[in-house]
């Protein structure tokens, strides 16, 4: 008895970050897929980081960005185009409250944010979830020989 094995060879064409397979399906390139994953991870991490910073005391956007640009926090650095919409979103969701404060030195008004009671409760749950997720991922990566 003779067995014939057929295999399909797929050709891929890369165009603008999208891999177009010969069968017509479009899949993101590895670079695009990594960027998407990285963005998803950073979104959650930045919310947690900002709430943690504000838990230590009232703060404003520029001060938060300065804190996240300090040595040791390079992976959390953010631009104003990310920081301010995120602060507004956290305020809209009831995690933060903001108030305008006049800077005594410059005379400029800044929006200072502080954690609400709900924000503190959510932050505590986020911290526990993050710690659990992190420790389990580390275990998995060790088991896979990736650390």
CATH no. for 30-144: 1.10.10.10
Domain range summary for the chain, segments of one domain joined by +: 30-144
Within 10 angstroms of residue 85's Cβ, the number of other Cβ atoms is 10
Residue 16, pLDDT score: 58
Residues 6+ apart with CB under 8 A from 46: 76, 78, 82, 86
Q: Which of 111, 125, 118 is nearest to 58 (CA)?
A: 111
Are the CB atoms for 103 and 109 separated by under 8 Å?
yes
pLDDT digits (tens, 9 = 90+) for 75-97: 999 999 999 999 999 999 999 99
Which is more confidently placed, 66 or 4?
66
pLDDT at res. 90? 98
Average pLDDT, integer, range 33-59: 95
Q: What is the DSSP letter of 74?
A: G
Query: Stretch 10-19: mean pLDDT, rounded?
Result: 54
What does the pLDDT read at residue 2? 52
Q: Has residue 7 got a pLDDT over 50?
A: no
The 10s digit of each residue's pLDDT in 111-137 is 999 999 999 999 999 999 999 999 999
Distance CA 6, CA 16 (A): 32
If you average pLDDT over residues 59-73, what whole number do you get? Answer: 96
């Amino acid at each position: 008895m003779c067995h014939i094995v057929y295999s399909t060879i797929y050709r891929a064409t890369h165009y603008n970050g999208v891999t177009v397979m010969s069968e017509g399906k479009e899949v993101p390139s590895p670079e695009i897929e990594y960027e998407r994953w990285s963005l998803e991870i950073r979104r959650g991490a930045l919310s947690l980081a900002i709430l943690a910073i504000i838990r230590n005391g009232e703060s404003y956007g520029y001060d938060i960005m300065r804190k996240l640009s300090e040595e040791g926090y390079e992976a959390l650095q953010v631009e104003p185009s990310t920081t301010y919409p995120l602060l507004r979103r956290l305020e809209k969701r009831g995690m933060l409250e903001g108030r305008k404060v006049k800077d005594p030195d410059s005379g400029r008004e800044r929006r200072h944010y502080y954690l609400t009671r709900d924000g503190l409760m959510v932050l505590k749950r986020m911290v526990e979830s993050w710690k659990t997720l992190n420790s389990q991922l580390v275990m998995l990566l060790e088991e896979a020989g990736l650390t």
